[in-house]
Structure 1
């Protein structure tokens, strides 16, 4: 199936928005705070990166990866759960390695948010395809 939606520009804008958070090049903006401006640009970057991933993965416009959009939920929900658990572990690993002083302060918050949402989504899909919420066909 050929891709109909362009996702590359969103990915580039997202990566640039996130990368600028590591340097202090943002203007003060109307709120007279360079760090707040960097945070806003970073949030826009994360949003663009997520939208690029969504377009690349599902080849449709949207924001919610509902179960009907998954091609093989029976096998991929475990991958999503593992990804979520890894994202939840990243802030702790950054702290153990003493890298947390070299990255923007809210980085741990973003990793925790992404990890929590992915973990919840994966567990929910697992419950409805294999767990107690699965619809069983009557014989």
Structure 2
């Protein structure tokens, strides 16, 4: 069996790029806007973190976690739903109760992650529950 793909470098770069978005300053870039450059870096960091997570979790290269690759789909549904709801609530709390001024795009990204996790949990539930092939159809 081949070696699993390297994920640590991508995770490290992703963390650095996401954390830099919380700092003021940075290059203004060709668009002459430092906040846009920070946001672009954070978005790139988020993508790198996702790729690193995928490689760590599934021990292969790729981007889409197909359901047949999961060990326990039914057990993952409530976990995904809770994490998705947690991210959604976290976005709201960060926007209203945070003592520091968090940029709106950061809140939208956190909310997007939460909504995508909720959508994934609904899909996994539908495929393993109401839309699962019955034994009569098999």
C-alpha separation between the residues in 1 aligned to 2:73 and 2:120? Answer: 11
- Give 2:126's aligned residue: 127
- Give 1:137's aligned residue: 135
- Give 1:113's aligned residue: 112
2:20, 2:42 within 8 Å by CA — same for their partners in 1?
A: yes
Cα offset, 1:103, TM superposition:
2.3
1:4-58 per-residue CA deviation (whole Å, 9 max, x = no partner) reads 1111111100100011001124211111111111111111011001111111111
Displaced runs of 4+ in structure 1, greater than 3 A?
A: none
Unmatched runs of 5 consecutive residues or more in structure 1:
none
Q: Relative to 1, partners in 2 of residues 1:89 and 1:2: Cα closer, same or farther, differing over 3 Å?
A: farther
Q: Relative to 1, partners in 2 of residues 1:104 and 1:95: Cα closer, same or farther, differing over 3 Å?
A: closer
Bigger Cα displacement from structure 2, 32-41 vs 89-98: 89-98
2:95, 2:107 within 8 Å by CA — same for their partners in 1?
A: no
- Give 2:89's aligned residue: 89
Unmatched runs of 5 consecutive residues or more in structure 2:
none
- Give 2:102's aligned residue: 103
Cα offset, 1:105, TM superposition:
2.5
